[in-house]
Amino acid sequence: MSKNYYEILGVERNASKSEIKKAFRELAHKYHPDKKGGDEAKFKEINEAYSILSDDQKRAEYDTYGRTFGSSGQGGFSGFEGFDFSQFTQAGRGFEFDLGDIFGDFFGGGRNKVRRGRDISIDVELSFKESVFGTERNVLITKNSTCGTCNGTGAKPGSPLQTCSVCAGKGKIKETKTSLFGTFATVITCGTCYGRGEVPKEHCTKCRGDGITREQQEVRIVIPPGIENGEMIRLSGGGEAIQNGSPGDLYIKVHVTPHPTFKKEGNDLVMNLPIKISDALTGTVVNIETLEGSTELKIPRGTKPNEVLRIKDKGIPYGTGKRGALLVRIVFAMPERLSKRAEELLEELKKEGL
């Protein structure tokens, strides 16, 4: 019975080449015999499926006839057809070949991996007002930075670089490891020149040839308006530097101190305003404190409890020149005690049906 190669790789029949390759890499990584919990039989089956579906002609034959022609086995599998045999050379009792990016992860190798510095995370505390309108902060961070004397080359100023003797200027070296299938050769970054292919003839006296120094650096952080408590700001390249690679990123976690009066609701600010019942019934004008000073608010006659009055352009800035509103929720301020005259007036109001 013909094998279902699409089912083996877990892809649809109309899967693209990139989808097939991705599925193969994930399954090969999972079932590789050299890994704990690996499965040699499953690994061979996965490779067999990939060898057919990754080849346009074989895949067309398989889709049409359920098998391929001109190769051994029902499905056309012969050895490791999923790999490029031009990379195979006799090496003692087995084969030596470069698996490149497919199995580079197994042995810490792999091609074209960009070296990257470590990310840094810091915490910044803001007042409520700063979180609404935004602000700027200068913080001191101790981190690995590119040497300012040699600009990261590791060479003494005026001294030339010379070819790395370990990798002969290639920046890469071959590392071999023996496995069940023979000798695997992987290409890794040279640990002497860190992939540059060159090393300093005379070392920089400040960084001692590393190109990196650990020092305190002042970083300017721009906090955008409307940022929320717990949000993260990412500064690309603000992390630690690394030899012959790109720096990591700086992550700033924001902590906003709560305000006793105001809260945020989207782009609006919300506050409660206690007023006397008499002012609600008859209407009045009151002064209220905002984050930008005092402003007048008209209380219409007959205002009800929990009614919300809106003051435009007193909320959170957003977009280009836009701002939310200040929403004022009316709360009735109940007196702790009533005078005899007030009680008499209330009794009269009751008689009036109020």
CATH class of 5-82: mainly alpha
Q: Provide the pLDDT for residue 79.
A: 38
Q: Provide the pLDDT for residue 219.
A: 93
Q: Provide the pLDDT for residue 96.
A: 40
Query: Taking 90 as the threshold, does the pLDDT of residue 87 lie above it?
Result: no
341 contact partners, CB below 8 Å, separation of at least 6: none
Domains in the chain: boundaries: 5-82, 85-113+161-200, 116-151+209-258, 263-351
Tens of pLDDT, residues 92-137: 333 444 444 444 444 444 445 567 899 999 999 999 999 999 999 9
Closest CA to 177 of 103, 118, 249, 237: 103
pTM: 0.59
**Torsional sign, CA 328, 331, 337, 343:** positive
**Torsional sign, CA 301, 307, 310, 314:** positive
Mean pLDDT (the chain, rounded): 82
Q: Provide the pLDDT for residue 69.
A: 55
116-151+209-258 placed in CATH 3.30.420.40:
no
Choice among 43-57, 82-96, 253-267 with the minimum mean pLDDT: 82-96
Cβ atoms of 241 and 156 within 8 Å: the answer is no
Q: What are phi and psi of 342, to 5 degrees?
A: -65, -40
For the segment 330-354, the average pLDDT, to the nearest whole number, is 79
Q: Provide the pLDDT for residue 175.
A: 80
Cβ atoms of 159 and 201 within 8 Å: the answer is yes
For the segment 315-320, the average pLDDT, to the nearest whole number, is 89
Please determine whether the domains at 116-151+209-258 and 263-351 fall in the same fold group of CATH: yes
Tens of pLDDT, residues 126-184: 999 999 999 999 999 999 999 999 998 889 998 898 999 889 989 888 887 776 666 77
Q: What are phi and psi of 339, to 5 degrees?
A: -75, 165
Query: Taking 60 as the threshold, does the pLDDT of residue 75 lie above it?
Result: no
Q: Provide the pLDDT for residue 181.
A: 64
Per-residue confidence band for 296, with pLDDT thresholds at 50, 70 and 90: very high
Q: Provide the pLDDT for residue 62.
A: 81
DSSP for 208-246? TTSSEEEEEEEEEEEEPTTPPTT-EEEETT-S---TTSB
Choice among 134-138, 147-151, 193-197, 294-298 with the minimum mean pLDDT: 193-197
Indicate the burial class of 330 (C-beta count within 10 angstroms; 0-12, 13-18, 19 or more). Answer: buried
**CA dist 179 → 39, 101, 108 (Å):** 14, 17, 15
Q: Reduced to 3 states, what is the DSSP secondary structure of residue 104? A: helix
Q: Provide the pLDDT for residue 28.
A: 82
Element housing 96 (H / E): strand 94-98
Tens of pLDDT, residues 318-327: 888 899 999 9
Q: Provide the pLDDT for residue 222.
A: 94
Neighbouring-strand partners of residue 121: 251
pLDDT top residue among 334 and 305:
305
CATH code for the part of the protein at 263-351: 2.60.260.20
